[in-house]
Copies of this chain bind each other. A is one copy, B any other.
Amino acid sequence: MTVRAAVAGASGYAGGELLRLLSGHPDVEVGAVTGHSHAGQRLGALQPHLAPYADRVLEETTPEVLRGHDVVFLALPHGQSAAVAEALGEEVLVIDCGADFRLADAAAWERWYGTPHAGTWPYGLPELPGARAALRGTRRVAVPGCFPTAVSLALAPAYAAGLALPEAVVVATTGTSGAGKALKPHLLGSEVMGSMSPYGVGGTHRHTPEMVQNLTAVAGERVSVSFTPVLAPMSRGILATCTAGAAPGTTGEQLRAAYEKAYQDEPFVTVLPEGQWPATASVQGANGVHLQMAYDADAGRIVVVGAIDNLTKGTAGGAVQSMNLALGLDEVRGLPAVGVAP
């Protein structure tokens, strides 16, 4: 079986990572690669690492160009996916790396994005309870945000096991690729190297409602999330430090057991041996999630730290994993399990 895939938004970081992963997927053949502002340019001029596709020319992102593929990956600015998906028809697998179809609550969408809610698609985080079943055979996938991927996987088992109080406090550092290729002064290399700075502080980052949605679903009660993202001097990687009040009677042993049980059959999630803490380099370029946890008796809180690559498991890897499920392929097919370290 050969799956023919198109990538819309191929000039950006998410699009580039999709192409990197698809180039190594044994069942996929890359068809159209599109991009709005760079249409007509050689892909090699924009993404020189994609050597096998260097001579491809970016086409415009139109239904005509995207039709005729089995899978269409959308890495577009939010608000553009619904129209493209509709034009492609229901039989094409559409995998949206944008935010448009992630939230189930229309009011939350409108509050955070200020536009009408486009709908809700199956959520591309198979490791969450119930998610994998909804992805099998689907023709629409909403790929989670990179921070919600890390945070939801880090905290879901604690909530599922009733070990955490419904007030999470999360600080997550991210590599600069998470901010995309936008030409903004604070993203210049001179500014980010040797420096750390937060943004979207005080609960203003749009990934917050997605975390609330995921953790609330698992906990069965509303979970508040105090979320602070921090820009770090590295290109890739998210390290999410996630804490929550410990439910009365929680022990460190219960906590560990909950995670080992929750993820024992997950191919991409590693609960590290006690005492070993995650490092983002370990999952660089890989679809893996590394987790470790502790119970702080003095502060009465649990602390779970998760590491992912924001572009791989956090975006393009999660997208390919969902594609595999949707198409009935082996879930791990074509996805690197080993990080590029050091």
Contact = CB atoms under 8 A, between A and B. Distances in A.
Interface in A132-166: none
Contacts of A49: 281-284, 286, 338-341
Interface string A169-188: 10101011101010111011
B234 A195 contact: yes
Contacts of A50: 338
A2 interface: no
A119 interface: no
Contacts of A339: 20, 49, 51
Contacts of A194: 193-194, 234-237, 280-281, 284
A243 interface: yes
Interface in A268-292: 270, 272-273, 276-286, 288, 290, 292
Contacts of A193: 176, 189, 192-194, 233-235, 342
A181 B190 contact: yes
A190 B176 contact: yes
Contact of A189 (B187, B201, B277, B295): B187
Interface string A214-249: 000000000011111010111111010101000000
Contacts of A241: 171, 198, 201, 228, 230
Interface size class of A (residues with CB under 8 A): 35 or more
Contacts of A234: 193-196, 233
Q: How many copies does the complex hold?
A: 4
Q: Most chain-B CB neighbours within 10 Å: which of A44, A176, A202, A208?
A: A202
Contacts of A116: none
Given A54-B270, A208-B298, A176 B188 contact: yes
A277 B190 contact: no
Interface in A304-332: 305, 307
16 contacts: A49-B339, A51-B286, A52-B337, A52-B338, A171-B228, A188-B189, A188-B342, A189-B235, A190-B342, A194-B281, A195-B280, A195-B342, A203-B296, A224-B298, A285-B285, A340-B340
Interface of A: 13, 16, 19-20, 23-24, 42, 44-45, 47-52, 54, 167, 169, 171, 173, 175-177, 179, 181, 183-185, 187-199, 201-204, 208, 224-228, 230, 232-237, 239, 241, 243, 270, 272-273, 276-286, 288, 290, 292, 294-301, 303, 305, 307, 336-342
Which 7 interchain pairs have the tightest Cβ spacing? A202-B294, A195-B281, A189-B192, A49-B339, A203-B296, A171-B171, A197-B279
